[in-house]
Chains A and B, each alone.
Chain A
Amino acid sequence: MSPSSPAREIPAVRLVEVSKAFGDLVVLDRVSLAVAKGETALVMGGSGSGKSVLIKHVVQLLRPDSGEVWVFDRRVDTLRGAELDAVRLSVGYLFQGGALFDSMTVGENIDFLLERHTRLDAAGRRARVEELLEWVRLPQLALRYPAELSGGQKKRAALARALALEPAIMLFDEPTTGLDPVSVRAVSELIVRLREERGITSLVITHDLLCAEITGGTVHFLHDAAIVASGDLDAVRRAAHPVLGNFFGG
């Protein structure tokens, strides 16, 4: 194995024995997880199993009670201020509802980040906004407000915003929840294109089987505050844990 082979590289995202509780409710109990650079990993599990809590630790929207969270070679759970900002800028985050700023148009949502974090002039930013909206297949919607978009369009517009600063890692929190099958397919295919065209590492939180089938990648199944199975989708389906049978309908 060559030194530069993926197995020897530092993982893009790594959680080491992370625990998190809200009062008496233990949501994560010494959960460990690693996502290799360029890989797509999925965290699956039922509603309320702590999937979103897990992903929020990567960008420190939540801090662990114990354990370590790493993004490449930076331990982020100890970072504050500008150092944490620097890590956050290398990570894009697609929120469950899109979280587009509703007082701004789609184009302004993207431009807002470009203006704050790049040296592009107005023309350069405009070109970048158009390019990003073209990439998510929403070329004509720059002037629309989020309230005027369908669920699938909101997710794709939010993805365009998340990609504005060219992150190395993308986090997806239930990217297909509430979407019709056609939109589920469209959003899932964008996740695949991110990996294939841009080499972006993705960590996807989902309970949507269609999304998991389309995106592929390593599946980690979260149940009772712990990861109970990991592997490709077929391997996880076949794993001998009673909850998996119920979840996958087998």
Chain B
Amino acid sequence: MTLSAPRIDKRNPARRFLEKTGELAAFAGEFVRSLGRRPFEFRELLRQMDEVGLKSFALTGVTGLAIGVVLAMQSRGTLVRFGAESMLPSMLALSVIKEIGPVITSLVLAGRLGAGIGAEIGSMRVTEQIDALEVAALRPMQYLVATRVVACFVMFPILTAWTDAIALFGGYLESVISSGTDYRLFLSSAFESLRLSDLLVDTLKTSVFGLVVGLVSCYLGFTVRGGTREVGRAAMEAVVLSSLLVLLTDVIVVRLSLILFGDISG
């Protein structure tokens, strides 16, 4: 049995990067244009929201619980040392809602959805199912891409809010077990240092992460050429690239939100 050698792209890496970036930008442009075209694939969008959202609730819930419990356990010692144990709920809420919840949720979803979308669309490409859609006068960009990207855009903040809530519940559980904290005290302390704008901006910023994860994963799946090995590679690249871009986008969004809304002390 002979195995063909993997195709190696010998072009200059910088040129390759620029080409890919250009292609991705063109793909994003095509996605935006597809949003204005009829028919809007509403039923497929609902199916994708179920796929992206409802089927991720358990995963993000467990993630949130672990974050909350671990964060409370890790922070308690330090806060006790400085005589600031009462600050624990507030610190938990700030860390979880402003940064850890949105970013960890998005990274977890990038792993699950990046691989899933990249592999599904990639496999549709190599088995000519995307061509079959085209020759049936159905638009793959509307049917496959727009529905998945919009589903990610809508569901990421919902899942983030859910993860945040579960993380705070985890932190509360830890506090009850460690020091018997009253839940009313925990809640009032947790939210006293948060502004509505923090809650909204830091939760809604994950829509941008969802957009990035959806677009990158669809693009990598859509442009697969070859066979199953390339499908696997597209799925892996979708996870890696989505995760990296989530982190980079976070830097930009946080900077922008600081400019627009100021920091917590302001």
A interface residues, Cβ below 8 angstroms from B: 56, 59, 61, 85-86, 88-89, 91, 93, 95-97, 99-102, 113, 116-117, 165
Q: Is the CB of A95 within 8 A of B137?
A: no
Task: From A86, A88, A96, A100, give the contact of B135 (CB < 8 A).
Answer: A88
Given known contacts A97-B128, A101-B124, what 20 new A-B pairs fall within 8 Å (CB)? Answer: A59-B134, A61-B131, A61-B134, A88-B134, A88-B136, A88-B137, A89-B137, A91-B135, A93-B131, A93-B132, A95-B128, A95-B132, A96-B128, A99-B127, A99-B128, A99-B129, A99-B131, A101-B129, A102-B129, A116-B136
A-B contact pairs, 10 of them (CB 8 A): A59-B134, A61-B135, A86-B137, A88-B136, A93-B132, A99-B129, A100-B129, A100-B132, A101-B124, A165-B136
- Interface residues as binary, B105-126 with A (CB distance below 8 Å gives 1, 0 otherwise): 0000000000000000000100
Cβ contacts under 8 Å, B135 to chain A: 59, 61, 88, 91, 93
Cβ contacts under 8 Å, B132 to chain A: 93, 95, 99-101
Nearest opposing residue in chain A for B123, CB measure: A102
- Interface residues as binary, B124-151 with A (CB distance below 8 Å gives 1, 0 otherwise): 1001110110111110000000000000
- Interface residues as binary, B176-210 with A (CB distance below 8 Å gives 1, 0 otherwise): 00000000000000000000000000000000000
Nearest opposing residue in chain B for A95, CB measure: B128
Q: Is the CB of B131 within 8 A of A95?
A: yes
Nearest opposing residue in chain B for A93, CB measure: B135
Category for how many chain B residues contact A: 10 to 19
Bound-state CA distance A222–B131 (Å) is 23
B205 to chain A, nearest CB (A): 32
Q: Is the CB of A116 within 8 A of B128?
A: no
A156 to chain B, nearest CB (A): 16
Bound-state CA distance A165–B132 (Å) is 14
B127, B128, B137: residue with the most chain A Cβ atoms closer than 10 Å: B137
Task: From A93, A95, A116, give the contact of B138 (CB < 8 A).
Answer: A116
Nearest opposing residue in chain B for A92, CB measure: B135
A200 to chain B, nearest CB (A): 16
Cβ contacts under 8 Å, B131 to chain A: 56, 61, 93, 95, 99
Bound-state CA distance A156–B143 (Å) is 25
Bound-state CA distance A113–B132 (Å) is 11
Bound-state CA distance A91–B137 (Å) is 10
A130 to chain B, nearest CB (A): 20
Bound-state CA distance A61–B134 (Å) is 8
Q: Is the CB of B128 within 8 A of A85?
A: no
B247 to chain A, nearest CB (A): 32
Cβ contacts under 8 Å, A56 to chain B: 131
Q: Is the CB of B127 within 8 A of A102?
A: yes
Q: Is the CB of A97 within 8 A of B136?
A: no
Bound-state CA distance A97–B132 (Å) is 11
Cβ contacts under 8 Å, B127 to chain A: 97, 99, 102
A210 to chain B, nearest CB (A): 24
Bound-state CA distance A95–B131 (Å) is 9
Bound-state CA distance A113–B135 (Å) is 11
A99, A101, A102, A113: residue with the most chain B Cβ atoms closer than 10 Å: A99
Bound-state CA distance A102–B133 (Å) is 13
Nearest opposing residue in chain A for B138, CB measure: A116
A17 to chain B, nearest CB (A): 24
3 A-B pairs closest in CB distance: A85-B137, A99-B132, A99-B128
Cβ contacts under 8 Å, A61 to chain B: 131, 134-135
Nearest opposing residue in chain A for B132, CB measure: A99
Nearest opposing residue in chain A for B137, CB measure: A85
Nearest opposing residue in chain A for B134, CB measure: A61
Cβ contacts under 8 Å, A59 to chain B: 134-135
Bound-state CA distance A15–B18 (Å) is 37
B160 to chain A, nearest CB (A): 28
Nearest opposing residue in chain A for B129, CB measure: A99
Bound-state CA distance A97–B138 (Å) is 19
Bound-state CA distance A61–B129 (Å) is 12
B129, B132, B138: residue with the most chain A Cβ atoms closer than 10 Å: B132
Bound-state CA distance A56–B134 (Å) is 11
Cβ contacts under 8 Å, A113 to chain B: 136
